């Protein structure tokens, strides 16, 4: 698809989101950031953004500053998935199933006033990686209440096919090198080195939100280990085709650097074909073959343009 990033406003560096809690599935508390925008009664669809594995709501800052800032702003809310950030991390079995996570997303949309108001009751669901899977499930649940779905480098693939791994092997590959976790300074330097040109105060804040500094000066991931494991197993259980075929709203997929076998692009084409066979519109696709997984950092203007393309 052709995005129009030149029509996206410049980021508003003055924005500071407000943090709130809402009761999610089973009464677990789910934290979200409200980046502002028009009041609750605006007819324009609001946007709910969901981060990927091991991240938090802060990863959406570069996009939120463009959408909820100057120009023609939209309500933008980003959520901490359970087990991540400031949300609760229940230990019971089944508390990280995809339907539970999707229920949390709907609860945040309602609690933030994006749904249940007097006008429209439609939102745009946006997700990155794991968050794209959750956004897709939530979009299917919302039906006509979803104005559009944006999948940022995820949500259309089976991870066992893409990676050639099972969930246990994938989990073992998540461990950070000891030298990265030896200190906060080492961790931040590692994250900055991914792309020094895009490192700024928002990137540092997002990085800091993903770790906790111990008394010994080392850092550990802030996502709870049991939540990470359960979330990964949910990701590996996900079959995108029936979920995306059930989404009545337009879908835009942004795909970053492809794997050597090209399986991600083939799976995206398969998911789109399944939608068409179900009478839905095909998935619109924009590719960024030279950029990494975190497109919100590397291509925030293009991610914002994709969101606005389905926001009406």
CATH of domain 5-163+234-311: 3.40.50.1820
Q: Please count the other Cβ atoms lying within 10 Å of the Cβ belonging to residue 291.
A: 18
Mean pLDDT across 213-219: 94
CA angle 104, 132, 206 (to 5 degrees): 80
Q: Which of the pair, 18 or 70, is modelled with greater confidence?
A: 18
Q: Which two tokens stand for residue 7?
A: 């029509």
Residue 265 φ then ψ, to 5°: -65, -40
- For helices 225-237 and 130-142, give the axis angle rounded to 10 degrees: 60
Distance CA 229, CA 259 (A): 24
Distance CA 116, CA 200 (A): 36
Grade residue 3 by pLDDT with cuts at 50, 70 and 90: confident
Q: Which two tokens stand for residue 73?
A: 């702003």
In angstroms, the Cα distances linking 98 to 114, 223, 239 are: 21, 17, 11
Grade residue 25 by pLDDT with cuts at 50, 70 and 90: confident
Grade residue 262 by pLDDT with cuts at 50, 70 and 90: confident
Distance CA 44, CA 103 (A): 23
In angstroms, how far is CA 231 from the centroid of its own chain?
A: 14
Q: Is the pLDDT of residue 71 over 50?
A: yes
Kindly report the pTM of this predicted structure. Answer: 0.96
Q: Are 16 and 43 in contact (CB under 8 A)?
A: no
Q: Are 282 and 245 in contact (CB under 8 A)?
A: no
Domain boundaries, the chain: 5-163+234-311
In angstroms, the Cα distances linking 24 to 11, 77, 175, 178 are: 31, 15, 29, 35
Q: Which of the pair, 195 or 4, is modelled with greater confidence?
A: 195
Q: Is the pLDDT of residue 42 over 80?
A: no
Residues with Cβ within 8 Å of 71's Cβ and at least 6 positions away in sequence, in order, are 9
């Amino acid at each position: 698809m052709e995005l129009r990033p030149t029509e996206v406003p410049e980021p508003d560096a003055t924005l500071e989101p407000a943090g709130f809690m809402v009761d999610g599935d089973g009464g677990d508390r789910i934290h979200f950031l409200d980046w502002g925008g028009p009041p609750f009664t605006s007819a324009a669809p609001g946007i709910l953004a969901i981060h990927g594995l091991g991240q938090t709501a802060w990863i959406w800052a570069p996009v939120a500053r463009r959408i909820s800032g100057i120009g023609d702003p939209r309500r933008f809310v980003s959520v901490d998935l359970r087990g991540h950030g400031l949300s609760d991390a229940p230990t019971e079995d089944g508390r990280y199933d995809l339907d539970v996570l999707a229920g949390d997303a709907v609860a945040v949309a309602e609690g933030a006033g994006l749904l249940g108001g007097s006008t429209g009751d439609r939102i745009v669901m946006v997700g990155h990686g794991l968050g794209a899977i959750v956004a897709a499930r939530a979009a299917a649940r919302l039906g006509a209440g979803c104005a559009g779905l944006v999948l940022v480098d995820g949500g259309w693939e089976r991870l066992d096919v893409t990676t050639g791994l099972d969930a246990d092997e994938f989990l073992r590959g998540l461990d950070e090198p000891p030298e990265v976790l030896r200190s906060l300074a080492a961790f931040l330097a590692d994250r900055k080195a991914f792309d020094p040109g895009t490192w700024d105060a928002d990137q540092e804040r997002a990085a800091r939100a993903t770790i906790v500094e111990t008394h010994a000066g080392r850092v550990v991931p802030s996502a709870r280990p049991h939540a990470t494991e359960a979330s990964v197993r949910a990701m590996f259980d996900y079959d995108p085709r029936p979920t995306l075929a059930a989404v009545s709203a337009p879908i835009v997929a942004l795909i970053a650097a492809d794997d050597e076998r090209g399986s991600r692009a083939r799976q995206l084409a398969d998911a789109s074909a399944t939608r068409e066979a179900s009478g839905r519109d095909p998935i619109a696709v924009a590719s960024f073959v030279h950029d990494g997984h975190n497109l919100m950092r590397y291509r925030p203007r293009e991610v914002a343009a994709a969101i606005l393309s389905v926001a009406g």
